[in-house]
Amino acid sequence: MDTVETDLETLARDIDGCCRIRGTFTLRSGQVTDEYFDKYLFESDPRLLARVVAAMAPLLPADVDLVGGLELGGIPIVTMLSALTGLPALFVRKEAKTYGTLRQAEGGDPRGRTVVLVEDVITTGGAVIDAATALRRLGTRVEVVVCAIDRRPADATRLAAAGIEVRAVLTRADLDAAHR
Q: In this structure, is residue 120 part of a structural domain?
A: yes
Q: In this structure, is residue 2 part of a structural domain?
A: no
Q: In this structure, is residue 1 part of a structural domain?
A: no
User: What is the per-residue DSSP string for 48-114?
Assistant: HHHHHHHHHGGGS-TT-SEEEEETTTHHHHHHHHHHHH-PPEEEE-SS--SSTT--SEEES--TTSB
Q: In this structure, is residue 3 part of a structural domain?
A: no
Q: In this structure, is residue 53 part of a structural domain?
A: yes
- Rounded CA separation 107/66 (Å): 10
CATH number of the domain residue 162 falls in: 3.40.50.2020
pLDDT of residue 1: 44
Range of the domain at 39: 8-179
Mean confidence (pLDDT) of the chain: 92
Whether residue 29 has pLDDT greater than 80: no
Q: In this structure, is residue 99 part of a structural domain?
A: yes
Q: In this structure, is residue 117 part of a structural domain?
A: yes
- Rounded CA separation 48/177 (Å): 19
- The model's pTM is 0.91
Q: Read off the pLDDT of residues 126-163 as tens digits, 9 standing for 90 and up.
A: 999 999 999 999 999 999 999 999 988 888 899 999 99
Q: Read off the pLDDT of residues 46-62 as tens digits, 9 standing for 90 and up.
A: 999 999 999 999 999 99
Q: In this structure, is residue 83 part of a structural domain?
A: yes
If one counts the domains in the chain, the total is 1
Whether residue 102 has pLDDT greater than 90: no
